[in-house]
């Protein structure tokens, strides 16, 4: 995620020192996710400007990967092509960016992010210096064949004391969509002592994500079992359970 951090720091620097007045730039991006495949080799991203000033964007493409520490690890890529690379959206107008995959599709879906980075205004009106906030949009782009599916593998890695550790792996060929996951701590009779909800995010093919749930101290003495259930968009729900130990 290092490259993305550099982009954010650059935006913050412009926010602090750019000698342009603040404006009420309002640009809507649609759709918020692009999918490419044999039946849809190209996609179109629309930018609608509902402000009263022209807004300029630079467009960049990144390959998107994940690891245990970072949900979004970005590397510049030429596998995704787009046109135009510089977009000017006049007040009240809609401009389009066309996107396509440069490389052949593989059995496993590939993930990208399209970065639309707002540029500073072309000129500063008279009257001094003011802060100007520059906006960035990161649009997910997925390229893969139709019919591929995710395959979630959910496990309780550790459940003891006030800590429950979970791991979710996507063994399929398609991304896991954002999903809710419920963790319940039960007593010996099956009554719920404590419940917590985890709002999961994308898990790309072949990647895994760890989650930790902290239990309240008063739930531990009677805790007997932990039950975890996750709901998914493109895959059946998964439910796993594990005995809980109050003391390590």
- Structural domains in the chain, sorted by start: 2-143 (2.60.40.10), 152-243 (2.60.40.10)
Give the residue carrying structure tokens 């009263």.
Answer: 52
Sort strands 80-83 and 86-89 into parallel, antiparallel or unpaired: unpaired
| Mean pLDDT of the 202-217 span | 94
Three-state SS at 164: strand
The answer, yes or no, to whether residue 46 has pLDDT greater than 50, is yes
pTM of the predicted protein model: 0.83
The answer, yes or no, to whether residue 10 has pLDDT greater than 90, is no
Higher-scoring residue by pLDDT: 109, 23:
109
| Mean pLDDT of the 209-232 span | 92
Q: What is the C-alpha separation between 137 and 28, in angstroms, rounded?
A: 10
Q: What is the pLDDT of residues 78-136, one digit of tens each?
A: 999 999 999 999 999 999 999 999 988 889 999 999 999 999 887 665 555 556 678 89
Short-list 48, 53, 30, CA closest to 114: 30
Contact between 27 and 47 (Cβ < 8 Å) = yes
Beta-sheet strands, E only, within 73-170: 73-76, 80-83, 86-89, 94-101, 110-118, 136-143, 152-160, 163-170
Higher-scoring residue by pLDDT: 9, 89:
89
Short-list 78, 139, 143, CA closest to 110: 143
Three-state SS at 7: helix
In this prediction, residue 126 carries a pLDDT of 58
- Residue 23 pLDDT grade (very low, low, confident, very high; cuts 50, 70, 90): very low
Contacts 24+ apart (CB under 8 A), 71-77: 71/201, 71/202, 71/209, 72/1, 72/4, 72/113, 72/138, 73/1, 73/4, 74/1, 74/3, 74/4, 74/113, 75/3, 76/3, 77/112
Three-state SS at 12: helix
Mean pLDDT of the chain: 86
The answer, yes or no, to whether residue 15 has pLDDT greater than 80, is no
- Residue 42 pLDDT grade (very low, low, confident, very high; cuts 50, 70, 90): very high
Q: What is the pLDDT of residues 148-203, one digit of tens each?
A: 999 999 999 999 999 999 999 999 999 999 889 999 999 999 999 999 999 989 99
């Amino acid at each position: 995620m290092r490259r993305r951090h550099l982009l954010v720091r650059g935006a913050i620097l412009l926010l602090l020192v750019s000698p342009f007045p603040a404006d009420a730039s309002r640009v809507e991006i649609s759709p918020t996710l692009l999918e490419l495949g044999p039946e849809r080799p190209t996609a179109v991203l629309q930018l609608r400007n509902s402000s009263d000033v022209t807004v300029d964007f630079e467009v960049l493409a990144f390959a998107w990967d994940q690891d245990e520490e970072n949900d979004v690890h970005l590397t510049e890529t030429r596998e995704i092509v787009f046109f135009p690379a510089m977009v000017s959206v006049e007040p009240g107008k809609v401009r389009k960016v066309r996107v396509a995959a440069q490389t052949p599709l593989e059995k496993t879906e590939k993930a990208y992010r399209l970065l639309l980075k707002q540029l500073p205004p072309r000129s500063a009106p008279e009257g001094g210096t003011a802060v100007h906030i520059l906006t960035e949009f990161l649009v997910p782009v997925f390229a893969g064949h139709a019919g591929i599916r995710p395959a979630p593998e959910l496990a309780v890695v550790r459940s003891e004391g006030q800590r429950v550790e979970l791991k979710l792996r996507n063994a399929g060929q398609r991304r896991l969509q954002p999903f809710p996951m419920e963790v319940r701590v039960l007593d010996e009779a099956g009554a719920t002592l404590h419940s917590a909800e985890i709002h999961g995010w994308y898990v790309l093919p072949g990647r895994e994500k760890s989650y930790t749930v902290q239990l309240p101290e008063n739930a531990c003495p009677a805790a007997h079992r932990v039950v975890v259930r996750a709901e998914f968009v493109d895959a059946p729900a998964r439910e796993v359970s594990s005995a809980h130990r109050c003391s390590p």
